[in-house]
Amino acid sequence: MISLITSMFNAEEFIDSFMENILEQTVFHKCELIIIDANKEPEKHLVENYLKYENIKYNHISDFGLSKDPGVYGCWNLAIKNALGKYITNANVDDRRAKNAIEKQFNLLEKKEYIDLVYYRTLETDLPNETVENNSAKIEFPCIDFSFDNLIRVNSPHCQPMWRKSIHERFGYFNESLKFAADYDMWLRAAERGANMQRINETLGLYYRNPQGISSKEETLMDAVQEVNQLKMQYFNNVHAKQLT
């Protein structure tokens, strides 16, 4: 029913804690975890012990005929196109969920067929491998009710949304030419064309501001901010142009 998609690259520091968090999800039996290994030197040995679970699937990018890392969003697209689930959620190796987080998202999407994507409140920590239940977070990522205007102002889905796989049939896949914010672009594109999203007003996620993360490390942070701001302006101008016509 639910496909969890994971891009794995230099994951050794996080993988055991991550896998424990996935295995303890209350609806793990309804999930498949699709791991796409983007490292040039395969990291299959890190997850070998977990492949005893039939619903955990591992592929190296070379299995798809690729010789170099296609980027996070390229890996996500590969995983989605091979996913069996009715619903999709990205599972980042350095972030954590409450044990019932996926269940709550799943139940809401099952109950409300007009909702395309659900998200929840997320804490932010500077320490790796903490849990939602036990962490040192002092910051909560801004999380507001959905509207297209609110989405332009704040990327409320943030790092752990769950969405219907069918959204990609309607609005396409993640734009692989974007390096930092293709997920934000995806949700803006979908919302602009009529997708509905809903917030779960509970804190169910923990985001690790990884100092080596592509969108959070110091060397690329300004590039990431610039890409986000360009998207905000692009979609704001789209709305303004429609209003004028």
213-234 confidence digits (pLDDT tens)? 777 767 778 999 999 999 999 9
Nearest to 136, CA basis, from 83, 211, 245, 209? 209
Mean pLDDT of the chain: 95
For residue range 101-150, list pLDDT tens digits in order: 999 999 999 999 999 999 999 999 999 999 999 999 999 999 999 999 99
| Residue 243, pLDDT score | 63
Reported as a single tens digit per residue, the pLDDT across 149-184 is: 999 999 889 999 999 999 999 999 999 999 999 999
C-alpha 70/C-alpha 76 separation (Å) is 10
The band of 240, judged by pLDDT with boundaries at 50, 70 and 90, is low
| Residues 103 and 27: beta-carbon distance below 8 Å | yes
The alpha carbon dihedral of 50, 56, 61, 64 has a sign of positive
Q: Rounded mean pLDDT of 64-72? A: 95
DSSP sequence for 109-171 = HHH-TT--EEEEEEEEESSTT--SSS----EE-------HHHHHH--TTTT--EEETTHHHHH
Is 61 in contact with 69 (CB distance < 8 Å)? yes
Per the structure block, which two tokens stand in for 184?
């934000």
Q: What is the pLDDT of residue 221?
A: 84
> Which position has the higher pLDDT, 57 or 245?
57
* Predicted local confidence at residue 212, as pLDDT: 83
Q: Which residues contact 216 (CB under 8 A, 6 or more apart)?
A: 209, 210, 224
Whole-angstrom distance, CA of residue 27 vs CA of residue 42: 29
pTM of the model: 0.94
What is the Cα–Cα distance from 6 to 91, expressed in whole angstroms?
Answer: 5
